[in-house]
Structure 1
Amino acid sequence: MEYRILGNADLKLSAITYGAFAIGGNMWGGNERKDSIASVRASLDNGVTTLDTAPFYGFGLSEEMIGEAIKGYDRSNIQLLTKFGLVWDGSNSSKGEFFFDAEEAGKKIPVYKYAAKASVIKEVEDSLKRLQTDYIDLLQIHWPDSTTPVSETMEALELLQQQGKIRAAGVSNYSVELVEAARKNLQIASNQVGYSMLNRGIEKDLVPYALEHQLGIIVYSPMERGLLTGKYFKDGKLKEDDHRNGYFGQFDLAKVKTFLDTITPLAEAKNATLSQLVLRWTMLQPAITIVLAGARNAAQATANAQAADIDITPEEMQFIHSALSKI
């Protein structure tokens, strides 16, 4: 495993980081609790020291399972990354910016973007309880909230740092302009954004900015929610409540399949899976600090961790980029 410093923060994180969205259950068709916890522990046992979650993932369930899974491990060797700013119940639900209606047990649950100071502080207290810890290594705003001044949100993060409840502050899904605004108020370590072989928009502005300003980039959805594993083309049936039924429609699936067929021999030559090759490619892109990889069971988690060991030569990288240019 490789370990990398996150931006200008005093945090060394595993380049492959465990992404805990899917184990929360909502929007992913559910998962067995024992398998979820086993996947976290398998990650830790294979060199992954960094776990990324959020209150919204399973409406608290993901954080609760992370807290349960790390029992028995040395907390000082684990970096817990979580978020705030998506609220779905209580008095805050009528505040902020409406995001979308989530579903839980067949019931619609309105979700709002809300990052006012008092709400942020409350969310962190709730997260600390669910994670069963007294500090969070990196706290990130989940999505921008247009109803709250950036300065107010940053003021909350600064207070939490002073109190020792968070070690570093980050943002997520922020434009370069919003990152600039945040950094005028507080030292921001990172921006967590979507990035993959099929979604490379950040290369135009965020990547150059990050390289120039020592900003870490945390990547989510490097596998495009499983599409780049190739499994979808072998067994394309998803559960009815799986959000990917609609999500995959944005891609030219025929071209994606041709691309995956083209690079599959390269993965096989390295005794690697497509997923491992894709994860390693993502890790090697400029300015990318860590890559989130989700897992539903121990076997998937172990395979994700092993992706860090794959070697890709400059010639092989050019071969992949050439194949990508045809999508």
Structure 2
Amino acid sequence: MQYRKIGSSNKGQSDLEVSVITFGAWAAGGWMWGGTERSEAVKAIKESYEVGITSIDTAPIYGQGLSEEIVGEAIKDLPRDKVQILTKFGMRWDLAKGDFAMHSKNNAGESIDIYKYAGKESIIKECEDSLKRLGTDYIDLYQIHWPDKTTPIAETMEAVSQLIQQGKVRYAGVCNYNADQMRESAKSIDLASNQVPYSMVKRDIQKETVPYCIEHDKAILAYSPLERGLLTGKMKPGYQFSADDHRAKLYFFKDENLKRVNEFLAKIKPLADEKNASLGQLVLRWTVEQPGITIALAGARDTKQALQNAAAMNIDLTAEEINFITGHLNKLELVQ
């Protein structure tokens, strides 16, 4: 495994080092993915640690606390100073305040309304709740989950600054922010990172966000690098999702797009075979070699998936091989 520093601080380079493949614990919480087996998820996190994935990204909204509880259970016997916990705030399912985000269902199938809310008092409460669920007294990277247009960015960042001063949070990050929102945040706090969606088929951050982050030494944490399974080559036209799987409604998974993506993957599969790697591993390795991309979050529901993700970093890609992949990728067009 390789490790990279996240962001910088006013004192120079930060001392927060994370594994280039970070364990993404959204699916582990079950919410929007169909059910998950808790003991399998705990085991997957522990086994990931053994092969060098020391960083775990979670959020309160993932299973409405369940994902954080699973992470807490998994790390309780691990050396805390060797694990990096990345969690989030600003999505409330238990408070109707702020910017309405979506109607959803919890893991019990009950309807819930979710709000993007990042008011100061709410953040302080959320942090306390997360610390309890995670079974720790500090969070390595605390990230606002989505922009909240009802709360001034300065108020949000003031709350996180207070948590940093209290030792409950080490570094501040954002998720799903554009370059302008990052600039606004920088007036109030020293941001370490931005967690944004990035994959072979979703590269729009390259226009503004990536250049801003490179210029200002901010890390980019790429989420959904396998585009929720699309880029593994395992999904064929006619694939059937369970009723509570959010992917069924995404245009990426239309039969025509599955066909086009699989045709692209067939062109790079000989390279994966040559490297003795799966398509998913090749895609992950390509992702973390892109300019400005610091780490990739890779989800896993069980140990087998987790170990496969970790092994992506065993692949070496030359500049020519990266260009070969990108060349074929640039010819891929998806239908909306």
SS of the aligned residue for 1:170 comes to strand
Q: TM-score, normalised by structure 2?
A: 0.94
Correspondence 1:103 to 2:108:
no
CA distance in 2, matches of 1:216, 1:237: 36
Give the match for residue 186 of structure 1: 189
Give the match for residue 224 of structure 2: 221
CA distance in 1, matches of 2:117, 2:208: 26
For 1:159, which of 158, 162, 165 is the aligned residue?
162
Give the match for residue 256 of structure 1: 261
Question: For 1:266-309, what per-residue CA distance to the aligned partner results, in whole angstroms no more than 9, with x for missing partners?
Answer: 11111000110000000101111111000111111111111111
SS of the aligned residue for 1:231 comes to coil
What amino acid sits opposite 2:17 in the alignment?
A: K
Give the match for residue 135 of structure 2: 132
1:10 positional shift = 2.3
Question: For 1:226-271, what per-residue CA distance to the aligned partner results, in whole angstroms no more than 9, with x for missing partners?
Answer: 1101111288222121111112347833221110111111111110
CA distance in 2, matches of 1:48, 1:245: 30
What amino acid sits opposite 2:119 in the alignment?
A: A
Give the match for residue 57 of structure 1: 62
CA distance in 2, matches of 1:19, 1:249: 21
Bigger CA drift: 208-217 or 120-129?
208-217
Contact 2:237–2:258 (Cα < 8 Å) also in 1: no
Give the match for residue 177 of structure 1: 180
* Structure 2: gaps spanning 5 or more residues: 9-13
Correspondence 1:6 to 2:9:
no
Bigger CA drift: 250-259 or 199-208?
250-259
Question: For 1:57-85, what per-residue CA distance to the aligned partner results, in whole angstroms no more than 9, with x for missing partners?
Answer: 00000000000011211010000000000
Give the match for residue 152 of structure 2: 149
What amino acid sits opposite 1:215 in the alignment?
A: K
For 1:120, which of 116, 120, 123 is the aligned residue?
123
CA distance in 2, matches of 1:235, 1:32: 26
What amino acid sits opposite 1:263 in the alignment?
A: I
What amino acid sits opposite 2:177 in the alignment?
A: Y
CA distance in 1, matches of 2:78, 2:240: 37
Higher-RCO chain (CA-CA 8 Å, sequence separation at least 6) = 1
In the alignment of these two chains, the number of paired residues is 324
SS of the aligned residue for 1:54 comes to coil
* Structure 1: gaps spanning 5 or more residues: none
SS of the aligned residue for 1:292 comes to strand
CA distance in 1, matches of 2:323, 2:249: 32
Contact 2:230–2:258 (Cα < 8 Å) also in 1: no
For 2:284, which of 268, 275, 279 is the aligned residue?
279
What amino acid sits opposite 1:181 in the alignment?
A: E
SS of the aligned residue for 2:235 comes to helix
1:313 positional shift = 1.1
What root-mean-square deviation, in Å, do the aligned CA atoms of Structure 1 and Structure 2 show? 1.2
Give the match for residue 68 of structure 1: 73
1:314 positional shift = 1.3
CA distance in 1, matches of 2:109, 2:156: 33
SS of the aligned residue for 1:51 comes to strand
